[in-house]
Amino acid sequence: MGGLTKIEMTFNVPHADCNKAGVYVIRNSIDGRVYVGATKELRRRFSTHQQRLKCGTHPNPGLQAFVNHHSIGALSFDLICLCEPHELLATEQFYLDFYQSYQEDLGFNRAALAGTTKGIIFTAESRAKISLNSRNRSPETRAKLSKAAKNEALSAETRAKRSAAATGKTISAETRAKISESEKGKVVSIESRAKMSAAQTGKTKSPEIKAKISAAAKARAATPEAKATFVEKMQQGREAKRNQA
Mark whether 63 and 149 lie in a shared domain.
Answer: yes
Count of structural domains, the chain: 2
pLDDT at 39 over 80: yes
The parent domain of residue 71 ranges over 10-167
Q: Are residues 52 and 160 part of one domain?
A: yes
For residue range 180-228, list pLDDT tens digits in order. Answer: 665 555 555 666 566 566 555 555 666 776 676 666 666 555 666 666 6
Q: Within 10 A of 34 (CB to CB), how many other CB atoms are there?
A: 20
Indicate whether 64 belongs to any domain.
yes
Does 212 share its domain with 162? no
Same domain, 240 and 127: no
Q: What is the pTM of this model?
A: 0.52
Statement to judge: residues 158 and 212 lie in one domain? no
Residues 108 and 223 both lie in one domain: no
Pair 134, 222 in one domain:
no
What was the pLDDT predicted at 115?
75
Residues 152 and 90 in one domain: yes
Q: In this structure, are 134 and 19 located in the same domain?
A: yes
Q: What is the pLDDT of residue 114?
A: 85
The answer to whether residues 68 and 129 belong to one domain is yes
34 contact partners, CB below 8 Å, separation of at least 6:
25, 26, 27, 28, 99, 101, 106, 107, 108
Contact 112, 152 (CB under 8 A): no
Asked if residue 94 lies in contact with residue 83, where contact means CB atoms within 8 angstroms, the answer is no
In a shared domain, residues 213 and 111: no
Higher per-residue confidence, 64 vs 158: 64
Q: With cut-offs at 50, 70 and 90, classify the pLDDT of residue 53.
A: very high
